[in-house]
């Protein structure tokens, strides 16, 4: 092959190598952003699970076992908070009168000093539903919803954590 025919081949090979390297670097940057978003999402899910466990523990500790099953079922009803689903992550019904539940809602929404709460959580995005219809146990279903800050506030999908706990009607 003549020297004239090979003129510029090294430059072409170098440009292709730079293009391939650039695509690899861009892929790594994109993976880093995805990893950070996944880590944040995992952190919020862990916090939601902790909030749900916290309220279920407080309910279990403060239920009245003095005259089972009537007192247990009656005292569980005082913890019910917006138990009616009014859409995905939107709840209706009466808010709880229990200061334990109201304090918990303030923690979840970040209204308590020292508690960051969950991003995008509002007073309507938590529910504590109590079902006392079973003879041997009652069911407490805690639902917590939040919107991650990494997405647009208008388009952000709700993230949701649900915890179902069973409380025996007998002590």
Spell out the domain ranges in the chain: 40-168
Of residues 120, 136, 121, 128, the one with CA closest to residue 95:
128
Place of tokens 């304090």: 103
Mean of the pLDDT values across residues 109-113? 90
Q: For residue range 30-50, what is the model confidence (pLDDT) as tens digits?
A: 898 888 878 888 999 999 999
Residue 115 pLDDT class (50, 70, 90 cuts)? confident
- For the question of whether the overall pTM of this predicted structure is more than 0.85, the answer is no
Residue 96: partners with Cβ closer than 8 Å, 6 or more residues away: 78, 79, 80, 81, 102, 128
């Amino acid at each position: 092959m003549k020297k004239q025919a090979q003129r510029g081949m090294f430059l072409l090979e170098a440009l292709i190598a730079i293009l391939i390297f650039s695509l690899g670097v861009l892929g790594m940057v994109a993976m880093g952003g995805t990893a950070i978003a996944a880590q944040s999402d995992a952190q919020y899910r862990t916090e939601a699970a902790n909030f749900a466990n916290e309220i279920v523990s407080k309910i279990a500790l403060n239920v009245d076992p003095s005259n089972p099953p009537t007192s247990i079922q009656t005292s569980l009803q005082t913890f019910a908070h917006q138990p009616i689903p009014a859409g995905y992550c939107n709840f209706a019904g009466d808010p709880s009168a229990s200061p334990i539940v109201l304090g918990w809602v303030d923690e979840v929404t970040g209204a308590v000093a020292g508690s960051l709460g969950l991003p995008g959580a509002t007073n309507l995005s938590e529910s504590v539903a109590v079902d006392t219809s079973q003879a041997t146990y009652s069911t407490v279903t805690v639902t917590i919803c939040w919107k991650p800050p990494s997405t647009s506030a208008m388009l952000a999908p709700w993230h949701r954590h649900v915890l179902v706990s069973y409380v025996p009607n007998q002590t």
